[in-house]
């Protein structure tokens, strides 16, 4: 068996969302298949489609996207590449952010917008029901409860199977769970960026999947340690960062993204990378100041 054939997201084990959706614990994030600034179509559409298909061939059965990626482009590419979807493939999408230009994001989690966003995602993804629909980010100008009540209503109508949250605090999760069951939380998190450690622990206690984004530490010292361990293991730095996440908690569901079929193979190979306890402890000991992406 060749190395490529041996690579499978199934090596990461599985997690069950909402009691009825079991997926492999290494997914794929489809933000990067759009144009620069997450705006417009990709420079190489054929590569984007090939990346999506290769991910699924290698056992990825959870693909994460959002209507704001493109906008709309990521969802359209997913449907073009994979529809009709292979059995067991779950597409999770998000709403609550709008785009007005490259790298620009606007809050909009109003009931009216979320209702329209779900309808738009249903059409673009060519499905009758979205398996996991996430509030992309709480809107400071809209009642959070009103946003969640809208998603609960859409779930009751059968348009959403399960509800997830993104970019939230523990308070948001607790408040949201009083309105509708929450199956997943997606926040920034890595071995060197553990601001949300307490939220990972909360999700673990309550059987909620945690989808970390930005899986590499941005801190120079952290990257130096990561590079050394990667060299010792004959792996890439991203593979080691993903292996740390997978070992951190059984509810961890990393969703690394790329627009390259070769890179998607490299990422998924992390599912089978065994991180020694000593390396895990060393990476876990890194605790730099919280990351700021504003500079």
| Residues annotated as catalytic (active site), given as ranges | 69
- At 25, is the secondary structure helix, strand, or coil? coil
How far apart are alpha carbons 194 and 233 in whole angstroms?
A: 23
Do 47 and 264 contact (CB within 8 A), yes or no? no
How far apart are alpha carbons 86 and 65 in whole angstroms?
A: 17
C-alpha distance from residue 105 to each of 112, 142, 186 (Å): 18, 16, 17
b or e along 72-85 (b: 16 or more beta carbons within 10 Å of the residue's beta carbon)? bbbbbbbbebbeeb
Beta strand extents in the chain (DSSP E only): 14-17, 21-24, 28-29, 62-64, 90-95, 97-101, 104-107, 130-135, 160-166, 182-188, 209-213
Query: In angstroms, how far is the first alpha carbon of the chain from the final one?
Result: 47
Nearest in space to 194 (alpha carbons), one of 165, 174, 214, 224: 214
What secondary structure letter does DSSP report for 144? H
Q: Are strands 104-107 and 182-188 parallel, antiparallel or unpaired?
A: unpaired
């Amino acid at each position: 068996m060749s190395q490529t054939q041996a690579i499978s997201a199934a090596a990461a084990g599985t997690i069950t969302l909402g009691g009825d959706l079991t997926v492999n614990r290494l997914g794929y994030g489809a933000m990067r298949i759009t144009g620069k600034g997450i705006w417009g179509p990709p420079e190489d559409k054929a590569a984007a489609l090939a990346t999506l298909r290769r991910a699924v061939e290698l056992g990825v059965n959870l693909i994460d996207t959002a209507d704001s990626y493109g906008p709309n482009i990521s969802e359209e590419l997913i449907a073009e590449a994979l529809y009709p979807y292979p059995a067991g493939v779950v597409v999770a999408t998000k709403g609550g952010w709008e785009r007005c230009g490259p790298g620009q994001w606007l809050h909009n989690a109003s009931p009216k917008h979320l209702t329209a966003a779900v309808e738009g995602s249903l059409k673009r993804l060519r499905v009758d029901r979205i398996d996991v629909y996430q509030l992309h980010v709480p809107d400071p100008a809209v009642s959070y409860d009103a946003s969640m009540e809208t998603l609960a209503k859409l779930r009751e109508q059968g348009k959403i199977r399960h509800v997830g949250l993104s970019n939230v605090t523990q308070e948001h999760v607790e408040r949201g769970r009083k309105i509708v069951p929450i199956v997943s939380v997606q926040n920034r998190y890595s071995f060197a960026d553990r601001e949300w450690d307490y939220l990972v622990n909360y999700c673990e206690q309550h059987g909620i999947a945690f989808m970390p984004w930005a899986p590499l530490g941005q801190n120079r010292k952290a990257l130096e340690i990561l590079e050394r361990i990667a060299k010792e293991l004959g792996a890439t730095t991203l593979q080691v960062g993903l292996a740390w996440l997978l070992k951190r908690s059984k509810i961890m569901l990393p969703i690394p993204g790329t627009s390259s079929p070769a890179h998607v193979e490299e990422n998924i190979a992390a599912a089978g990378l065994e991180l020694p306890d000593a390396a895990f402890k060393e990476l876990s000991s890194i605790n730099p100041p919280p990351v700021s992406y504003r500079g």
